[in-house]
Amino acid sequence: MALARTHAVALDGVRGHVVEVEADISAGLPAFVLIGLPDAALGESRKRVGSAAVNAGCPLTQRKLTVNLSPAALPKQGSAFDLAIAVAALAAAGELPPEAAAGVVHLGELGLDGRLRPVPGILPSVVAARDAGFARVVVPHANAPEARLVDGIEVVGVVGLRETAILHGARLEPVDLEPVPLPAVDSTDEPEPDIADVAGNEEAIEALVTAAAGGHHLAMVGPPGAGKTMLARRLPSLLPDLTPREALEATSIRSLAGLGVGGSLITRPPYEAPHHTASAVSLVGGGSGRITPGAIVRATGGVLFLDEASIA
């Protein structure tokens, strides 16, 4: 019997839980069994990992392979377990030194060509790995700048499974691959609107200052065109920069939402103005698999403006 293990992270909202990924090779007909409460996307990793390993030049064993995700009672969602599953399987087969992968957290989705695809939620995952005492995490190349926002842990960005195997001591020749980029995200770099741009409206500005200073809610009542949206959009300019803890939380939420993070933390209070026809799910968040933050969650530490809201 050959047994090896490595680690990944299961996300539960903005919190991450380190998961031990165990791979066991035993006698029997060729099979790839994945256990430990995987969801549908994670269950399909058997096909992704198998094809990726072949195309990366390090095929999996042809014996019975059992992969366990522990703790078994914790639900696991998404494709970010692919790399950890592949590394554990290769280590169990003797292709990698088992001790090299045991103390490392691996995150990333594998493509059929063996390249690593970026995944959402890297920032909270790396925070969870660091808080659990791990000193090293391996992530997709495109997610590396985001992962390096977390202090106190070594981040290694890799292009694919072959590079990861070489990193852990596999005797393979390096192959140049084009890294998979981050998906395009609609974003604007417009400067934050400033309350100083507002002429007149002294009473409204005084109300905004009072709300910002005391952390109060604010109801704005007036006919269309009175400037309610214009004033609300400038309310964040009255708020101080986020504290380091708040900045990490706000950036983690943005990472979970798949909105792109880049190489710096969000330091200014966020602003969210959902449409008045937005559904309850889009406001609060949720989802049948991976939880997606809604507008209320994305506004954490900042301003949530509900236009056309009933106050009756």
Instruction: Render pLDDT for 10-55 as a digit per residue (tens, 0 to 9).
Output: 998 888 999 999 999 998 889 999 999 999 889 999 999 999 999 9
Given this structure, which CATH class describes domain 2-167?
alpha beta
Q: At what angle do helices 122-131 and 244-256 cross, to 10 degrees?
A: 130
Residue 184 has pLDDT above 90, yes or no: no
Task: Report helix angle 82-92 to 45-55, nearest 10.
Answer: 60
Cα separation, 300 vs 253, whole angstroms: 9
Residue 209 confidence (pLDDT) above 70: yes
Cα 85 → chain centroid: 18
pLDDT given at position 216? 93
- Mean pLDDT across 257-273: 88
Please report the DSSP string for the chain in residue order.
Answer: -EEEEEEEEEEETTEEEEEEEEEEEESSSSEEEEESSB-HHHHTHHHHHHHHHHHTT-PPPSSEEEEEEESTTS-B-SSTTHHHHHHHHHHHTTSS-HHHHHT-EE--EEPTTSBEEP-TTHHHHHHHHHHTT--EEEEEGGGHHHHTTSTTSEEEEESBHHHHHHHTT--------PPPPPPP-----PPPP-GGG--S-HHHHHHHHHHHHHT--------TTSSHHHHHHHGGGGSPPPPHHHHHHHHHHHHHTTS--TTS---SPPEE---TT--HHHHHEE-SSS-EE-HHHHTTTSEE--TT----
CA distance 205 to 211: 10
116-139 average pLDDT score: 96
* CA–CA distance, 31 with 129 (Å, rounded to integer): 31
Q: What is the pTM of this model?
A: 0.89
Domains 2-167 and 195-304 agree in fold: no
CATH number of 195-304: 3.40.50.300
Q: How confident is the model at residue 226 (pLDDT cuts 50, 70, 90)?
A: confident
- Least Cα distance to 301 among 275, 265, 263, 259 occurs for 265
Domain ranges of the chain: 2-167, 195-304
Cα distance between residue 80 and residue 119, in whole Å: 6
Q: Which of 120-134, 166-180, 185-199, 263-277 has the lowest mean pLDDT?
A: 185-199
Average pLDDT over residues 281-295: 80
* Overall average pLDDT of the 106-114 stretch: 97
- Asked whether the predicted pLDDT for residue 151 surpasses 90, the reply is yes
pLDDT reported for residue 183: 84
Nearest to 64 by CA among 23, 27, 89, 21: 27
